[in-house]
Amino acid sequence: MGGIEMGVIEMGPGMAAVAIVFLSLTAKLCMTCGVRAKQSLPGYDPLEPLQDNVSKAQLNVAEYEGIFTAIFLFLYIKKADGLLVTIVSIGAPLTQALYFWGRVATGDPYPFSAIGALPRFVCMGMMIYILWNEIGDKSLGPGLAALKLLILSLAAKLFMSFGIRVAKVEGEKKENASSAQLNVAEYEGIFTAIFLFLYLKKADGLLVMIVSIGVPLTQALYFWGRVATGSPMPFSPIGALPRYVCMGISVYILYNEIGNMSVGPGLAAVAVLFLSLAAKLFMSFGIRVANVEGEKKQNASKAQLNVAEYEGLFTAALLFLHVQKDAGTLVTIVSIGLPLTQAIYFWGRVATGSPMPFSPIGALPRYACMGILAYQLLTAVN
């Protein structure tokens, strides 16, 4: 692959994926050690500007981690090179770092929100062009579906930045658009990883066609329907319910495409997808439809949003290790550890109705697994 070489390390899409995973881990550790660890202290105020700023910065970069990791690992497998690939391979991790650590260092959204976000949008635009060229088959299938998800992701983020924040829209319209954008962002990374994997595997058939059409369509309906009406109804269920069906079908497709069901990264990716669907269904039907309110709803919602941060990145990395046929003790550890810690974190909190003790029981070994995962990816791409 072409790129800028630094010693034995080549600054291409493989190293970009490693950088994204490493930055994700450090941002999450900063949140845990620098913000959440202080929550038990007397006088802690979660809305205090410094704490609120760090939390929002971390949630922002988390939106991009899954989709960026999936695309960079795909480009690495495809041996993509050239000037634009080099630009995004350097630019995407750099803008992520500037956005988060700039806000942390200054204690304020400005100027690093704009310094990180605007070139990150440019990088996403370049990725659309690169992906269009790398996907040879432009027929309705998983490759084109991944491209559509990237376009929809960029469009929703641009609308939120310029159509809401820059335009200083406030009140219910802002809250509705923000909630809709955060919802679709939960699915972008995990579905992009799955579609790019299915494209590499040359998967076809009726079910593949259904999800390749259905997922981008439901994402578009959910976000732009809510934006157009200014309300969650009726497009929340119109978008969400068939999206759940598509996720269920995707679990089945992925299970069949993995082939080898022994403990390894392929089966782990299936487990992460299944756990994602189960958590989302519980939130929709076990909490919202059941009209559960109060502390139980807040605890379950926070737990589901937490595990959702990891799903796209984990799925992309695990499917990459499966495609590369990586094996060994460390691969086995992350293949068991990643889905297990996700399950412990969410279902432990749901069962107890409280963050303790399952937040640290799930989160701390998950951080260890992420560190191992970053190392394993670094080894795989060099």
pLDDT in tens, 275-314: 999 999 999 999 999 999 999 999 999 999 999 999 999 9
For residues 103 and 109, what is the distance between their CA atoms, to the nearest angstrom?
5
Nearest to 68 by CA among 4, 154, 158, 163: 154
Residue 319 CA to residue 109 CA, distance in Å, equals: 35
Q: Which two tokens mark 187?
A: 């699915």
Give me the percent of the chain exceeding a pLDDT of 70.
94
Q: d(Cα 216, Cα 163) in Å, to the nearest integer?
A: 22
- Given a contact cutoff of 8 angstroms between Cβ atoms, the answer to whether 60 and 33 are in contact is no
* CA atoms of 282 and 215, how far apart (whole Å): 20
From first to last of its 382 residues, what are the pLDDT tens digits of the chain?
Answer: 344 444 445 789 999 999 999 999 999 999 998 777 666 556 556 556 678 899 999 999 999 999 999 999 999 999 999 999 999 999 999 999 999 999 999 999 999 999 999 999 999 999 999 999 999 877 889 999 999 999 999 999 999 999 999 999 999 999 999 999 999 999 999 999 999 999 999 999 999 999 999 999 999 999 999 999 999 999 999 999 999 999 999 999 999 999 877 889 999 999 999 999 999 999 999 999 999 999 999 999 999 999 999 999 999 999 999 999 999 999 999 999 999 999 999 999 999 999 999 999 999 999 999 999 999 999 999 8
Tokens read off for 68:
């960026």
* Residue 67 near residue 188, CB atoms below 8 Å: yes
Q: Give the bridge partners for 4, in sequence order.
A: 11
Distance CA 286, CA 375 (A): 38
Residue pLDDT, tens place only, 314-332: 999 999 999 999 999 999 9
Task: State the SS3 of the chain.
Answer: CCCEEECCEEECHHHHHHHHHHHHHHHHHHHHHHCHHHCCCCCCCCCCHHHHHHHHHHHHHHHHHHHHHHHHHHHHHCCCCCHHHHHHHHHHHHHHHHHHHHHHHHCCCCCHHHHHHHHHHHHHHHHHHHHHHHCCCCCCCHHHHHHHHHHHHHHHHHHHHHHHHCCCCCCHHHHHHHHHHHHHHHHHHHHHHHHHHHHHCCCCCHHHHHHHHHHHHHHHHHHHHHHHHCCCCCHHHHHHHHHHHHHHHHHHHHHHHHCCCCCCHHHHHHHHHHHHHHHHHHHHHHHHCCCCCCHHHHHHHHHHHHHHHHHHHHHHHHHHHHHCCCCCHHHHHHHHHHHHHHHHHHHHHHHHCCCCCHHHHHHHHHHHHHHHHHHHHHHHHC
- In order of 90, 142, 270, the CA distances from 133 in angstroms are 20, 15, 29
Give Cβ neighbours of residue 42 (< 8 Å, ≥ 6 apart): none
CB 218 within 8 A of CB 145: no
